[in-house]
Structure 1
Amino acid sequence: MFFKKWEISLALRYVFTSHKDRFISVINLFSLIGISLGVATLIVVMAVMNGYESELIDKILGFKGHLTIITMNNNKSDQKSLYKQETDKKLSKIDDITDISEILFSGYFTESQCIVASNKAMNGAIIKGVDSDYLLKKPGISSNIDIIFKDGIILGVELARKLGVKVGDDVKIISPSTNHTIIGNLPKVITLKLVNTIDFGIYDYNAGIGFIPLKISYKLFDNQNKMIEIVLKSINSTDNVKKILLKRFPDISIIDWQENNQSLVQAIKIEQNVMFLILSLIIMIATFNIISSLVILVKDKSKSIAILRTMGATKCSIINIFIFTGSIIGIMGTSAGMIIGIIFTNNIDKIKKLIEKISGNELFDPIVYFLTKLPAKIIWTEIFFIGGLSLFFSFIATIYPAIKVAEIDPAKTLRYD
């Protein structure tokens, strides 16, 4: 659709009306503000949800890895030592793989639910047995560790706070594994010094994770709990590396990060889709204000339109004028909304802190939302899609009033002047 200069000029006059038509200007302004707020809100909410998903997955993968090899399948040997030798041999081969370029890190670990206790309190926790190389080399953990892992225990910062312990204090670990004694089966217990604390950036991990040396975990847990964890350079390589490993070692069992966190990932995706739908409806409702403003404009300018028709203006020209009038409001509102949304997103943590300071309430509770800070991630393709969606709604809103104005009969309108 091509607009003539006089059509554009007249459309601009209708958008920025004179003081005599101040009421129409106010309606146009409200339409513009409504679209701007709708677009800005959608951009901010989607950016926060994208940032939340990305940050949460990064933190999870920084701790748990992309792939976890948990056990060997169906070994029928009754000799436990032979089973252990075969298991260690195959795990070693996997750990030594260097020709898969996507692998960034791999390392052994053991893991068990335990009770950790101090002189002041006790709490349930996942205790992971690892060696110092694991902590110093693994992405997501190495940046938070500034001490060589000795024969002690490292706790999440929140767990250490709950237990009321600091570096150098004794921490008792009570394992679900048992020792056979003359008075019955008793849980294995060991006392270690707290050598460091770690901040994972996820509240649940900070409040429920601990690390002990691998050799000590063998005494505390069952020996057959030995596993290997693999971290990849890209999350997109997970399926490919998993297929390669299963092809080379068909009798191993591998769990990827999506299987470990399936319910969480699906919940985030569903919430994203629902929020996008709801906020898109807000933009749609805001663009409907354009219909109201154009209908009022048609009533107000019906005589002028009739005169234009008698001067030779075609129905197509009249339609063009009113479509362009509504489109200008949509373009201005969408542009303003995109700018506001991007600025707000880039400063969202500062704005959150300011609102919390003014209101006295915590807006982003780490206990509820897992993460310790409010994340936001701008995806430009998504922003342009939101802008295009707003412009599409704005254009659709102009069609009905534009067609109705073209149906005005100049003779009848001027006859009753």
Structure 2
Amino acid sequence: MANPPPFSRYEFLIAWRYLRARRAEGGVSTMTWISLIGIALGVMALIATLAVRSGFRTEFVDTILGANAHTTVYMPPQQIVNDLTDEVYTVAGTIPDYAAAVERIRAIPGVTRADPVVKGQVMASVGDRSNVAEVHGLTLEDLKAIPRVADPATGAGDIAAFDRGIAIGSGIARDLGAGIGDRVQLISPQGAQTAFGTTPRIATYEVVYIFTAGRYDIDRTRIYMPLPEAQSYFNREGEVDEIQVYAADPEGVDALTQPLMQALPGSVVWTWRDASGSFLSALDIEDDVMFVILSVLVLIAAMNITSGLIMLVKNKGRDIGILRTMGLTEGAILRVFFLCGAFTGVLGTLAGVILGVLLALNIDSIMAAVNWFSGGGAWDPAVRGIYKLPAELRGIDIAKAVGLSLVLSFLVTIFPARRAARMNPVEALRHE
């Protein structure tokens, strides 16, 4: 008579019966529940953490690419001699023939947009309130093409009226107490050159549009001004400070560096990865560290399976001896007790996946509750850079958590299962 194949139905039935311990064996049942709950909580924490980390990185990158250029082309600083005082000082490089440069850059494969921009630092004030701001001078068409800025769902005012005023971030608008139609005074230290030095330039502009880009640092410091007005205000007549370039593939923007430098000889290229690469690298390192730490927690929870199985093997010594005398092989006994641990690992993992997905999907409500209990300090956008804690469930993250939990659960069952399989049936029955 042929031996039954491995993992036959009777092996599953025996393993399931052992897991449903009688009241006299309550210790085994208790350890099983502790193991199951521990694995479920570990998998839940792992899935929720990976989802939050993925969501944070996606939101952070999206706010970068949604309100900033993918790469910037500018000229290096230049030394200028003051004809009146013979003083030599360094100024930022400018692009005089920017129209032709923009056309050459737009012709590069992979480039979707190229916007000439004038930039400068100013002091913005309304009444007795003031704040430092960064002015970007660009055309109305280019402003409308910035997704996070021109979004009507988050903006206020009329962006079409940009040519007769300025657009400011919601953060700086709140700091200044400015609304649509209010006038903001801008003071720039880089004004007119006179025999007595440089005099500050002061001008007043009407606020026609207020945007929310989703990045705390942008909303709190950025002001957009029409390009001709910015050229006049910052003494950039007929020239711009830089050309902001947008690529069809932002992740592969580094491939455009050489073509951009060839399109504008002597220029310097600064990509969004150069600006935020260190932060993104830190996020990747944190992701790896968090995965290792939470993996240890899952391992600790899985080790409880070993304790439970050792107790089960000790309590079932007589049963093991009887099963061996009935013809069960060592392999069959090993598989029975392996299935006992595997059942716990699978059920705990399944429960952890369900709880982790529910936690990730409701992270906004949970953070709102935490903020309420903590008085609103649980999530500070000034530190985090974005306004909310997002979560992004990815199949690869769930698969990693499930795979880790199942592998650890299966591995820790091997030792007690082998111990049961190698038990001498004669010795097991003699002591009963």
Question: TM-score, length-normalised on structure 1?
Answer: 0.91
Aligned counterparts of 2:78 and 2:315: Cα–Cα separation in 1? 83
Corresponding position of 2:17: 13
CA contact (8 A) 1:177 1:220 kept: no
The alpha carbon displacement at 1:354 in A equals 3.2
CA contact (8 A) 2:96 2:240 kept: no
* Matching residue within 296, 299, 311 for 2:311: 296
CA contact (8 A) 1:120 1:164 kept: no
Aligned counterparts of 1:250 and 1:392: Cα–Cα separation in 2? 56
CA contact (8 A) 2:21 2:29 kept: yes
Corresponding position of 1:216: 229
Corresponding position of 2:206: 193
1:249–1:179 distance in 2 versus 1, CA, 3 Å: closer
Report the secondary structure of 1:143's partner residue: coil
1:38 matches 2:51? no
Matches within 5 A, 1:55-66: 55-66=59-70
Corresponding position of 1:157: 170
1:15–1:362 distance in 2 versus 1, CA, 3 Å: farther
The alpha carbon displacement at 1:225 in A equals 4.6
Matches within 5 A, 1:24-103: 24-71=28-75, 87-97=97-107, 100=109, 102-103=110-111
1:397–1:342 distance in 2 versus 1, CA, 3 Å: same
The alpha carbon displacement at 1:30 in A equals 1.2
The alpha carbon displacement at 1:90 in A equals 4.4
Matches within 5 A, 1:340-355: 340-355=355-370
* Matching residue within 124, 133, 140 for 1:116: 124
Aligned counterparts of 2:340 and 2:205: Cα–Cα separation in 1? 74
1:298–1:159 distance in 2 versus 1, CA, 3 Å: same
Corresponding position of 2:290: 275
Give the residue type in structure 1 aligned to 2:104.
Answer: I
Report the secondary structure of 1:92's partner residue: helix
Larger helix proportion of the pair: 1
Aligned counterparts of 2:394 and 2:241: Cα–Cα separation in 1? 40
Report the secondary structure of 1:123's partner residue: strand
Corresponding position of 1:365: 380
Q: Deviations over 1:234-257 (max 9, x none)?
A: 323313333443455554322111
Aligned counterparts of 2:181 and 2:249: Cα–Cα separation in 1? 38
Aligned counterparts of 2:164 and 2:429: Cα–Cα separation in 1? 97
Aligned counterparts of 1:113 and 1:22: Cα–Cα separation in 2? 72
Percent identity reads: 32
- Which segments of 5 or more consecutive residues in structure 1 lack a partner in the other structure? 76-82
- Which segments of 5 or more consecutive residues in structure 2 lack a partner in the other structure? 80-92
Question: TM-score, length-normalised on structure 2?
Answer: 0.88
The alpha carbon displacement at 1:219 in A equals 2.4
The alpha carbon displacement at 1:232 in A equals 2.5
The alpha carbon displacement at 1:72 in A equals 6.7
The alpha carbon displacement at 1:360 in A equals 4.2
The alpha carbon displacement at 1:364 in A equals 2.0
* Matching residue within 416, 424, 427 for 1:401: 416
The alpha carbon displacement at 1:359 in A equals 5.2
Report the secondary structure of 1:150's partner residue: helix
CA contact (8 A) 2:321 2:426 kept: yes
* Matching residue within 248, 254, 261 for 1:239: 254
Give the residue type in structure 2 aligned to 1:14.
Answer: Y
Matches within 5 A, 1:314-329: 314-329=329-344
CA contact (8 A) 2:105 2:111 kept: no
Give the residue type in structure 2 aligned to 1:158.
Answer: G
Q: Deviations over 1:16-39 (max 9, x none)?
A: 223332221121111111111111
Aligned counterparts of 1:257 and 1:231: Cα–Cα separation in 2? 10
Report the secondary structure of 2:164's partner residue: coil
The alpha carbon displacement at 1:382 in A equals 1.7
Aligned counterparts of 1:288 and 1:416: Cα–Cα separation in 2? 28
Aligned counterparts of 1:84 and 1:165: Cα–Cα separation in 2? 32
1:89–1:392 distance in 2 versus 1, CA, 3 Å: same
Aligned counterparts of 1:137 and 1:194: Cα–Cα separation in 2? 20
Aligned counterparts of 1:341 and 1:85: Cα–Cα separation in 2? 53
Aligned counterparts of 1:310 and 1:361: Cα–Cα separation in 2? 68
Report the secondary structure of 1:68's partner residue: strand
Corresponding position of 2:136: 128
The alpha carbon displacement at 1:361 in A equals 4.2
* Matching residue within 139, 143, 147 for 2:159: 147
Give the residue type in structure 2 aligned to 1:267.
Answer: A
1:225–1:107 distance in 2 versus 1, CA, 3 Å: closer
CA contact (8 A) 1:95 1:228 kept: no
Give the residue type in structure 2 aligned to 1:296.
Answer: M
Aligned counterparts of 1:19 and 1:160: Cα–Cα separation in 2? 68
Q: Deviations over 1:29-87 (max 9, x none)?
A: 11111111111111111111111111111111111121111227999xxxxxxx97864
The alpha carbon displacement at 1:220 in A equals 2.7
Corresponding position of 1:264: 279
1:74–1:117 distance in 2 versus 1, CA, 3 Å: closer
Aligned counterparts of 1:283 and 1:228: Cα–Cα separation in 2? 50
The alpha carbon displacement at 1:187 in A equals 2.0
The alpha carbon displacement at 1:178 in A equals 3.4
1:179–1:74 distance in 2 versus 1, CA, 3 Å: closer
Corresponding position of 1:80: none
CA contact (8 A) 1:117 1:171 kept: yes
Report the secondary structure of 1:261's partner residue: helix
Corresponding position of 2:86: none
Report the secondary structure of 2:75's partner residue: strand
Matches within 5 A, 1:383-402: 383-402=398-417
